[in-house]
């Protein structure tokens, strides 16, 4: 072959070589495989910005390949694969955060639903307990069969029972007055203090200062009228008890009248609590206070129709509080300050009947207990209105806990600190 032909063939080979496509880098095939996988779909959904950056690098790699820049295509392809891996990592983190947010939302919805169920359960339980209380009050208010005439011993027992019922009525109405009285005006029975008759307890006798009658709050006229009616029944009962207690008078003991008076005061106290009880929840305030006092381990609290009762003995040496008594009352003062919604009744019981001459000394004892319990003592005038309402009651010997003629009759002398439950429960 001539030299000229050889030169022509060589030139043709060079031209053909220049026009032939360059080999596709393997990394671009790997990139196509990555883009077709589930990881890329997840990245596109949860990390669209990072996915778009990886796609741009892929486009740059293909453009370099079209321009016969195999090295550039290789480098850009590798960067695109790395960008897809980065996008997948970001998408997994974003998916985890979305799952966490969804779980938190489901938890919040579950907690809200549970709280709603608990509130509904508490409301229903409160309604059931309130209905039970109404049934009890209605049962107590039912007319009783009049008691017939009895022999002398039975009449004496009836008279003692009537006095005890009268005391219970007085304390129940006093508790209702405490709940409806304005702050700083805790007159227990709506009357001015007066001297007690022998054998008949007067709750206002130990009041340190006169208070205005008619303590019902605005908007509770019906409750005030109910309470005034119950108080009037007690006054009538006191007069009948005084007449029945006169020696030589053959007058039956007003036992039926005393039962009705107690039922009337219990109904008034229940109405006062019901007016203060939210319909949509069960407060359980009395339960919480009872649990707190029980947990302390040194009070032995009890519960009756008035509220939570702590009974104390041995508080006095003569007419003065002992140091131990003052310390115990200071502890109860802190409890009262922590539960200002509970008015406090200080009920002083004696181990024998007291005369009118002895009454001022017992009233002084009751007032000493009130002063020891009052957290506003020594506080500023601005803080005083926040103090719980505290009122004294002289119960006399009408509610003994042991035989008044027995060897342990001294146990009848006691002081009850009554935290009057402010709501239905």
Please report the DSSP string for 262-278 in residue order: HHHHHHHHHHHHHHHS-
Instruction: Give the helix/strand (H/E) hosting 345.
Output: strand 344-349
Q: What are phi and psi of 179, to 5 degrees?
A: -75, -30
- pTM for the full model? 0.56
Looking at the structure, do residues 38 and 142 belong to the same domain, yes or no?
no
Relative to beta strand 320-321, strand 316-317 is antiparallel
Q: How many domains does the chain contain in total?
A: 2
CA 302 from centre of chain: 19
CATH number at 337 reads 3.30.1330.60
Answer yes or no: is pLDDT of 14 > 70: no
Residues 149 and 285 in one domain: yes
Domain-located, residue 158: yes
Burial environment of residue 221 by CB neighbours within 10 A (0 to 12, 13 to 18, 19 or more): exposed
Phi, psi of 416 (to 5 degrees): -100, 125
Q: Is residue 190 part of a domain?
A: yes
Q: Which of 54, 82, 105 is the last residue of a domain?
A: 105
**What's the pLDDT tens digit per position in 329-362?**
999 999 999 999 899 999 999 999 888 899 999 9
194 and 49 housed in the same domain: no
Is residue 12 assigned to a domain? no
pLDDT at 134 over 70: yes
Say which range, 148-157, 243-252, 365-374, 400-409, has the weakest mean pLDDT: 243-252
Mean pLDDT of 102-112: 90
Coil vs helix vs strand at 395: strand
**Euclidean distance between CA atoms 117 and 69, whole angstroms:** 70
Regarding whether 339 and 265 lie in a shared domain, the answer is yes
The residue to which tokens 């003994």 are assigned: 400
Q: pLDDT value at position 190?
A: 40
Residue 270: inside a domain: yes
Average pLDDT, the chain: 79
- Final residue of a domain: which of 90, 105, 120? 105
Q: How far apart are CA 225 and CA 207, in angstroms?
A: 23
Residues 316 and 253 both lie in one domain: yes
For residue 70, the model assigns a pLDDT of: 81
36 with 147, same domain: the answer is no
Look at residue 212 and tell me if it is in a domain.
no
Indicate if 230 and 363 belong to the same structural domain. Answer: yes
- Is 203 within a domain? yes
Asked if residue 176 and residue 62 are part of one domain, the reply reads no
283: left (phi over 0), alpha (psi -120 to 50) or beta: alpha
pLDDT of 141 > 80? The answer is no
More confident residue, 89 or 217: 89
In a domain, 61, yes or no: yes
Asked if the structure places residue 57 within a domain, the reply is yes
Dist. CA 326–CA 331, nearest whole Å:
9
Helices 48-66 and 26-35: angle between axes, nearest 10 degrees: 150
Residues 266 and 335 in one domain: yes
Residue range 290-327, pLDDT digits in tens: 889 988 888 889 988 899 999 999 999 988 999 999 99
For residue 18, pLDDT beyond 70: no
- Domain membership of residue 290 as a residue range: 138-207+218-420
> Does one domain contain both 83 and 143?
no
* 65 shares a domain with 152: no
- pLDDT per residue over 226-283, tens digit each? 889 999 999 999 888 888 867 556 678 888 888 899 998 988 888 888 777 765 555 5
Q: Where a domain ends, among 80, 105, 130?
A: 105
Q: Is residue 178 located within the same domain as residue 279? A: yes
């Amino acid at each position: 072959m001539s030299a000229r032909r050889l030169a022509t063939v060589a030139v043709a080979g060079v031209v053909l070589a220049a026009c032939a496509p360059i080999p596709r880098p393997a990394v671009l095939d790997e990139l196509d495989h990555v883009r077709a996988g589930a990881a890329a779909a997840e990245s596109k959904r949860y990390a669209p910005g990072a996915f778009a950056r990886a796609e741009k690098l892929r486009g740059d790699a293909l453009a370099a390949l079209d321009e016969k820049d195999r090295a550039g295509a290789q480098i850009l392809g590798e960067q695109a694969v790395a960008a897809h891996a980065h996008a997948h990592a970001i998408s997994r983190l974003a998916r985890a955060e979305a799952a966490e947010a969804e779980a938190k939302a489901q938890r919040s919805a579950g907690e809200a639903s549970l709280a709603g169920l608990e509130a509904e359960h508490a409301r229903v339980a409160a309604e059931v307990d309130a209905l039970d209380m109404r049934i009890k009050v209605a049962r107590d208010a039912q007319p009783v069969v009049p008691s017939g005439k009895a022999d002398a011993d039975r009449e004496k027992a009836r008279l003692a029972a009537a006095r005890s019922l009268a005391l219970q009525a007085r304390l129940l109405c006093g508790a209702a007055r405490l709940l409806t009285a304005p702050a700083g005006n805790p007159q227990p029975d709506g009357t001015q203090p007066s001297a007690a008759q022998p054998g008949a307890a007067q709750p206002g006798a130990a009041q340190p200062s006169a208070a205005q009658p008619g303590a019902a709050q605005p908007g509770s006229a019906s409750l005030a009228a109910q309470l005034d009616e119950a108080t009037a029944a007690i006054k009538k009962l006191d007069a009948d008890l005084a007449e029945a207690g006169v020696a030589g008078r053959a007058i039956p003991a007003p036992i039926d009248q005393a039962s009705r008076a107690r039922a009337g005061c219990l109904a008034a106290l229940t109405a006062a609590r019901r007016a203060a009880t939210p319909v949509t929840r069960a407060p359980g305030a009395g339960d919480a206070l009872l649990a707190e006092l029980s947990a302390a381990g040194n009070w032995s609290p009890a519960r009756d129709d008035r509220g939570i009762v702590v009974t104390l003995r041995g508080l006095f040496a003569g007419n003065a509080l002992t140091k131990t008594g003052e310390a115990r009352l200071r502890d109860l003062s802190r409890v009262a300050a922590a539960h200002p919604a509970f008015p406090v009744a200080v009920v002083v019981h004696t181990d024998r009947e007291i005369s009118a001459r002895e009454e001022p000394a017992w009233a002084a004892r009751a007032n000493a207990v009130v002063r020891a319990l009052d957290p506003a003592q020594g506080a500023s005038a601005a803080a005083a209105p926040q103090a719980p309402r505290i009122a004294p009651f002289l119960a006399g010997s009408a509610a003994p806990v042991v035989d008044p003629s027995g060897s342990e009759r001294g146990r009848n002398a006691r002081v009850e600190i009554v935290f009057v439950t402010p709501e239905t429960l």
